[in-house]
């Protein structure tokens, strides 16, 4: 087992221990594995980009059971059933715990494709099958860490989740694309003590005919140097899909949320460990 995986497990373990989650989901539990251990394994599974069966096979030949003090390796159905009953709030708190204080934030959304259904299946159910899950995030632009996530199974406007994401991250400056441009979003940002920087729509419309005091101000003087930092959100999406996959294998929406949230937690943990290794190597080279 590599030193990076060892540091990754230790980091996730410390973050999970700080969460206030029940040790067992039921009083009738066999108490062989607790929720914290299974949550760590669920995030690690996403980091390794493996199926439930392959991940358990990989565990048997690794030394992770010694690090987590496991008496035995769980069956793949144990982890599968845990993902079905796990609370999405646990992983949301874990993502927030792994992220640093978010001051300069970027907000955006992307889509994760689903396992495609056959033409025969579509003809049997008599309707189209949705082909993606909407994944909205607000992330720290300095460390490139995800601070909060909102997942939807239907196509909705980006501004729908603006207030929720801002309330969770509580940044000072929010960088957003033109899709978030509205006076309402500026007022919401001010409510949480933040400033929204979003390119105003309809650039050719003169300032005197532009609605909203905040939008008029940005048309007169737009801080382009700060706004260029928003491109890092696209970098986060690119790394997230390239390292951990751009498709979701779960069938139910509840398990799809758990899969994507654990993927975001795995990204944060991997980012922190990689940054620490680079920083340590820089100090040793000096």
Which residues span the domain enclosing 167? 101-240
* Same domain assignment for residues 141 and 226: yes
Residue 112: the pLDDT is 92
* Same domain assignment for residues 189 and 235: yes
99 within 8 A of 268, measured Cβ to Cβ? yes
Residues 69-116 have pLDDT tens digits of 888 899 999 999 999 999 999 999 999 999 878 899 999 999 998 865
* Same domain assignment for residues 26 and 78: yes
* Same domain assignment for residues 35 and 123: no
Domain membership of residue 140 (yes or no) is: yes
Domain membership of residue 38 (yes or no) is: yes
Secondary structure, 3-state, 132-146: EEEEEEEEECCCCEE
Residues 133-186 have pLDDT tens digits of 999 999 999 999 999 999 998 888 889 999 999 999 999 999 999 999 999 999
Domain count within the chain: 2
Domain membership of residue 248 (yes or no) is: no
2 within 8 A of 263, measured Cβ to Cβ? no
147 within 8 A of 99, measured Cβ to Cβ? yes
For the domain that residue 165 is a member of, what is the CATH number?
A: 3.30.420
* Averaged confidence pLDDT in the chain: 87
Residue 127: the pLDDT is 61
45 within 8 A of 73, measured Cβ to Cβ? no
* Same domain assignment for residues 120 and 220: yes
* Same domain assignment for residues 69 and 16: yes
Judge whether residue 205 has pLDDT over 50.
Answer: yes
* Same domain assignment for residues 160 and 274: no
* Same domain assignment for residues 234 and 120: yes
pTM for this prediction: 0.88
Domain membership of residue 183 (yes or no) is: yes
Helix H or strand E encompassing 24: none
- Averaged pLDDT for residues 268-286: 62
47 pLDDT tier (thresholds 50, 70, 90): very high
Cα–Cα distance list, 231 to 92, 159, 197 (Å): 24, 19, 13
Find all residues with CB under 8 Å of 62, minimum gap 6, and list them.
1, 5
Question: Would you tell me how many other CB atoms lie within 10 Å of the CB of residue 191?
Answer: 11
Share of the chain above pLDDT 90, in %: 56
- How far apart, in whole angstroms, are the C-alpha atoms of residue 183 and residue 155? 22
Task: Enter the tokens of residue 181.
Answer: 């441009």
């Amino acid at each position: 087992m590599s030193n990076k995986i060892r540091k990754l497990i230790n980091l996730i373990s410390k973050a999970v221990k700080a969460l206030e989650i029940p040790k067992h989901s039921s009083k009738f539990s066999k108490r062989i594995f607790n929720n914290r251990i299974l949550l760590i394994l669920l995030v690690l599974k996403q980091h390794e980009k493996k199926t439930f069966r392959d991940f358990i096979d990989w565990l048997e030949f690794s030394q992770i059971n010694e690090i987590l003090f496991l008496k035995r390796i769980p069956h793949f159905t144990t982890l599968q059933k845990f993902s079905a009953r796990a609370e999405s709030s646990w992983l949301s708190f874990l993502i927030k715990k792994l992220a640093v204080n978010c001051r300069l934030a970027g907000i955006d959304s992307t889509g994760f494709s689903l396992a495609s259904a056959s033409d025969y299946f579509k003809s049997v159910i008599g309707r189209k099958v949705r082909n993606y899950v909407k994944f909205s995030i607000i992330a720290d632009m300095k460390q490139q860490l995800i601070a909060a996530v909102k997942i939807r199974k239907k196509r909705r406007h980006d501004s729908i989740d603006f207030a929720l994401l801002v309330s969770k991250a509580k940044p000072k400056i929010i960088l957003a694309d033109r899709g978030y441009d509205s006076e309402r979003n500026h007022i919401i940002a001010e409510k949480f003590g933040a400033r929204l920087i979003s390119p105003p729509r309809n650039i050719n419309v003169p300032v005197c005919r532009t609605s909203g005091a905040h939008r008029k101000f940005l048309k007169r003087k737009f801080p382009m140097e700060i706004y260029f930092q928003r491109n890092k959100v696209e970098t986060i999406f690119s790394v997230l899909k390239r390292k951990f996959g751009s498709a979701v294998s779960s069938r139910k929406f509840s398990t799809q949320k758990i899969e994507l949230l654990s993927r975001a937690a795995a990204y944060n943990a991997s980012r922190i460990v990689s940054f620490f290794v680079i920083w340590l190597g820089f100090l040793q080279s000096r």
